[in-house]
Structure 1
Amino acid sequence: MKFGLLFSGQGAQRAGMGINFLADPLFKETVEIASEASGQDIVADFKSEHDELKKTVHVQPALVAFEAGIYRMLQRDLPDFNAAGMVGLSLGEYGAMIASKAISLKEGISLVSDRAKYMQEDADQVSSSMAALIKPDVDKVNAILTALQNTDQQVYFSNFNSPKQIVIGGEESAVKKAVQEINDQEAAKRAVELKVNGAFHTPLFNEASKKMHQRLANVSFAQVEIPVISNTTVKPFTDDWAEIMERQLAVPTHFGSCVQYLIDQVGIDATLEIGPGKTLSSFARQVDRKLEHYHIGNLTDYQKFIEEEHGIKK
């Protein structure tokens, strides 16, 4: 099988994630490096005994460290594993960035920690929210959002996750108005407001994007052997990491199209989701039901996957 690796984004985090992996020396080493690079106690973030995982500044380095630790274990235990391409949802692109060796673990965690601070600062400026739209009529939704924007309402497309789900985001009052209009005009089968720390991937994060421009100015990215497909351009990253990761904060993601690219251009026939949840596997299934799906979110998942890949439980 040719695998497409899927790295989870913010929202997938769960209290207690990663704790059972700490028995593995390589995972523990990853967390120690991440803690030093971020200036945070990543183990405490994993535990979230004081609701650390409800804050962007804690979630982002913790989730990327979690993904990096698992991927490093995979490289050790399955040296011939056929990873043909990678895609991460939003924050998950940093997991893919580190896994593909575009940047070192230490520098990647340092970078994502600063990104989280910039985003937290923007999120604290305005009361914002997001809403997932199930089976949307994209043209109808676009007309609704455009009409609201024309009356100075800040509500925008945020995520194109799959053929069956998109997300909108913006100021809380504007999102509520949009959801009401979408329901009234039957522009989606269902609209579900989301509990999030900010309206990510909208112009509400323009200031964070500007700060990332400065932060990325002196960061060097290596050429990768495994293609990583950008949420922003739906093309493989080349020497444009800095430019795209700056833009990424304030423009919509296109995860579903990235999975389709991996199918059409890379030839994947299976996905492996790395992260504490199966949301991305669900999106990938909506893109192409022929794909086989695997998931690693805890140590039991990991052991099962390793055994199957070694032919122990075929």
Structure 2
Amino acid sequence: MEKFGLLFSGQGAQYPQMGMDLYNKDPLFKEIIDRANAVLTNMDLVAVLNNEDDALSQTKYVQPAIVAVSLGLFTMLKRDIPELPIQAMLGLSLGEYAALIASGVLEFEEGMQILQDRASYMQADAQAKASKMAALLQPDIDLVKQICQDCTTNEETVSIANYNSPKQVVIGGSVGAVQKAMTELAEKGGAKKVVELKVSGAFHTPLFVNASQKMAKRLSKVTFAKSNVPVISNTTCQPFDDKVADTLVKQLISPTHFASCSAYMFDKLGVNAVLELGPGDTLCKFVKQVDRKVARYHIENYEGYQAFLDAIRGN
């Protein structure tokens, strides 16, 4: 029997029109988007999903949009397959907020408001100092760490920001330091391939310390409920405990460990199937590199949702 781990998409998976077929065809999905829209300030979620004025290139808009789409899909699942055996939830960075809301740790409206503030803080840091990120395919981790250390100075920093899978990590930091590290990695064989990413900032690096400090203040008065299913933290590689706020504050300046979190679900929680909710299937691809035996599903549109229902119901 398949026991599911739900995966929630992270930033970078967005694309114009994401979720709009669901919005137009499923009343419950539309209700969730409209409900989120009602508590968000100075933004129109439908306009963002349609990428009006290039909205999906801006962190402050894209984060609430991705999470709202993921939660819309999750709510549809609860309606149509309430018996689906969900053993754990795991989001990549931003996706942790979708997981925390879906699991009941954060109430929907408050969670969306916190998320909007987080996105605003992160956009401010991204605009304050130029930064960049690069994905490394088949990296030599020890060599990557050494090169990052050698390229970091008092003025500029570069470090591993994401441990995505056994075959991919991402480095991030100041433009000059990252560029220097990319050159050295290519020269010294630190990775089979180095690919610069199109992102608005080097998330999960020390460059986001201001956003982290603002989040500490923002979360200090938030009451977190007990999760009804384990939510695995990218930061600790363990289920969130009673220190949710502290972990979310650290998350902004700490590397993500999606690969280790996936392994925890499989080894400790009996998960043998994953379902990615949200734009793209990047997380399913990472999971394949962690454990090829795990069944993988993803839903990002109406057609995919119907196909998943058919698969689960044996149609």
Matching of residue 101 in structure 1 with residue 104 in structure 2: yes
Q: What percent identity do the matched residue pairs reach?
A: 50
Matching of residue 261 in structure 1 with residue 299 in structure 2: no
Matching of residue 162 in structure 1 with residue 165 in structure 2: yes
Deviation, 1:309, is 1.3
The secondary structure found in structure 1 opposite 2:11 is coil
1:278 is matched with: 281
Answer whether contact 1:4 1:84 (CA < 8 A) is retained.
yes
2:20 is matched with: 19
CA distance in structure 2 between the aligned counterparts of 1:75 and 1:285, rounded to whole angstroms: 26
Deviation per CA, 1:167-215, whole angstroms, max 9, x where unpaired? 0001112111100000000010011000100000000000000000000
Deviation per CA, 1:135-193, whole angstroms, max 9, x where unpaired? 00000011111111246431111000000000000111211110000000001001100
Deviation, 1:50, is 1.4
2:4 is matched with: 3
2:32 is matched with: 30
Gaps of 5+ in 1: none
Aligned residues: 312
Q: Which amino acid aligns with 1:50?
A: D
Matching of residue 194 in structure 1 with residue 197 in structure 2: yes
Q: Which amino acid aligns with 1:276?
A: P
The secondary structure found in structure 2 opposite 1:250 is coil
Matching of residue 131 in structure 1 with residue 134 in structure 2: yes
Q: Which amino acid aligns with 2:58?
A: K
Answer whether contact 1:295 1:301 (CA < 8 A) is retained.
yes
Q: Which amino acid aligns with 1:45?
A: V
CA distance in structure 2 between the aligned counterparts of 1:285 and 1:27, rounded to whole angstroms: 29
CA distance in structure 2 between the aligned counterparts of 1:138 and 1:208, rounded to whole angstroms: 28
CA distance in structure 2 between the aligned counterparts of 1:246 and 1:293, rounded to whole angstroms: 31
Of 50, 63, 67, the match for 2:66: 63
Q: Which amino acid aligns with 2:56?
A: L
CA distance in structure 2 between the aligned counterparts of 1:36 and 1:117, rounded to whole angstroms: 18
TM-score by length of 2: 0.98
Deviation, 1:37, is 1.5
CA distance in structure 2 between the aligned counterparts of 1:153 and 1:213, rounded to whole angstroms: 25
CA distance in structure 2 between the aligned counterparts of 1:301 and 1:269, rounded to whole angstroms: 20
Deviation, 1:49, is 2.5
Gaps of 5+ in 2: none
Of 282, 298, 302, the match for 2:305: 302
Answer whether contact 1:68 1:105 (CA < 8 A) is retained.
no
